[in-house]
Amino acid sequence: MRTGGISARGVEMRYGYDDGPAVLEDLDIDIPSGSFTTLLGPSGCGKSTLLKILGGILEPTAGDIVIDGAPAAAAVKNRQIGLCPQRPALLPWKSALENARMLREIATGSRNSESREAAEHALELVGLGAARHKLPHELSGGMAQRVSIARALAMDPAILLMDEPFGALDAITRDEMNEKLAEIWAATGKTIVFVTHSISEAVFLSDVVHMMGTSPGRIVETVEIDLDRPRTSEVFENPHFGEYVAHLRDQLEPTAVA
């Protein structure tokens, strides 16, 4: 049975104090199991906040998050949520393999052949099997970010939350990483919730793009991306790709980039 479906109702978030401004207000969202869903929107609209709330990592001030029919906290407890942050945050003195093992070992409290095999498998999935003994300073930015993805995959979560993981990479590496991520998603069947400012990245990767607006953060439009898979850089030449990008750009408040 595939798992990792998320349903959120009436989400409200106010940081710090209850009568402060709402970062998110009365927000509903459904994320089907196994889908690739992107939260797109201008800086400060609450994408990262919503991402963490959907994964049960951050408690909203109001609303309900249900993952596979149970409160989100159960999915967190069962290690069904993996997080890839904006920066890879690797331990500089540990190899790619040791970094990829680390979270699983902390979560399970055991260091054994199982954790090693899970990390090795995850590094193969991200295309870094041959680089497993390299230290972070020997890795390019894209490789370091792939180790970060492997570290999350080694936990074998049903849901992968990705908070603008490729934002710091150059354009060519970013395109390569997007192709690699699409492959990983297809190979693993995980539910991926992805945050980005980039419209073209959102269209390339997603089944569904939820476009968010500001003040308060909310979903202003949901667009299903009906482009054939697997998608490669050739999709950039597809007129429908350009139409999706143009449509989303028209809807966006300033600060997002194509």
Ligand X SMILES: Nc1ncnc2c1ncn2[C@@H]1O[C@H](COP(=O)(O)OP(=O)(O)OP(=O)(O)O)[C@@H](O)[C@H]1O
* Binding mask of the shown chain, residues 166 to 205, with x at each position contacting ligand X by CB under 6 A: -------------------------------x--------
In the complex, minimum distance from the CB of residue 195 to ligand X, in angstroms, rounded to a whole number: 6
φ, ψ (nearest 5 deg) of residue 197: -95, -15
Q: How many residues of this chain interact with ligand X, rule: CB under 6 A? A: 12
Closer CB to ligand X, 62 or 227, in the complex: 62
Closer CB to ligand X, 43 or 112, in the complex: 43
Contact status: 47 vs ligand X (CB under 6 A): yes
Contact status: 257 vs ligand X (CB under 6 A): no
E strand or H helix at 105? helix 96-108
In the complex, minimum distance from the CB of residue 5 to ligand X, in angstroms, rounded to a whole number: 23
Please state the length of the chain.
258
Q: How far apart are CA 123 and CA 125, in angstroms?
A: 5
What are the start-end ranges of the E strands in the chain? 6-13, 24-31, 36-40, 62-67, 70-71, 81-84, 159-163, 191-196, 208-213, 218-224
**What one-letter code names the amino acid at 212?**
M
Compute the Cα dihedral for 220, 165, 91, 109 and give only its sign: positive
In the complex, minimum distance from the CB of residue 42 to ligand X, in angstroms, rounded to a whole number: 7
Neighbouring-strand partners of residue 82: 160
Q: How far apart are CA 220 and CA 241, in angstroms?
A: 20
Comparing C-alpha atoms, which of 228, 226, 177 is closest to residue 198? Answer: 177
Q: How far apart are CA 163 and CA 16, in angstroms?
A: 22
Contact with ligand X (CB under 6 A): which of 35, 37, 38, 49? 49
Closer CB to ligand X, 37 or 48, in the complex: 48
- Please identify, among the stretches 45-53, 93-101, 122-130, 140-148, the one whose residues bind ligand X according to the rule CB under 6 A: 45-53
Closer CB to ligand X, 83 or 150, in the complex: 83
* Binding mask of the shown chain, residues 5 to 44, with x at each position contacting ligand X by CB under 6 A: ----------xx------x-----------------x-xx
In the complex, minimum distance from the CB of residue 81 to ligand X, in angstroms, rounded to a whole number: 17
Q: How far apart are CA 225 and CA 204, in angstroms?
A: 9
Contact with ligand X (CB under 6 A): which of 45, 67, 81, 102? 45
Contact status: 48 vs ligand X (CB under 6 A): yes
In the complex, minimum distance from the CB of residue 253 to ligand X, in angstroms, rounded to a whole number: 11
Q: Which residues bind ligand X (CB under 6 A)?
A: 15-16, 23, 41, 43-49, 197
